Amino acid sequence: MDKLQDLLLTLSATVAGLCTWIVKRLWGRIDKIESDIHTLQAHQLTKNDLDKIVDIQHLILQNLLSQKRRD
C-alpha cells in the first residue's frame, strides 16, 4: 500500500508540474502577443491623425486654387 501511495503521489506531482509548465508557456505566449499588439497600436494612425492630414490637404488645395485665379 505504501508503494501505491508513493506512486500516486509521484504521478500527481508529475501531472501538476506538467500542467504548470503548460500554463506558464501559454501565458508567456499571450503576454508576447499582447506586447506585439501594443507595439502595433502605438505605431498605428488614428482618425485624429487622418483628420489633421485632410485639413492640411484642404489648406494646400485652397491655396493652390486661389493662386491660380490670381494669375
As a whole number of angstroms, the distance between CA 3 and CA 16 comes to 20
pLDDT at 58 over 60: yes
| pLDDT in the model for residue 1 | 79
Residue 24's pLDDT band (cuts 50, 70, 90): very high
Global pTM reads: 0.51
d(CA 40, CA 53): 21
Half-sphere exposure of 44 (CA within 13 A, CB side): 8
Q: Is the pLDDT of residue 13 over 90?
A: yes
3-state secondary structure of 46: coil
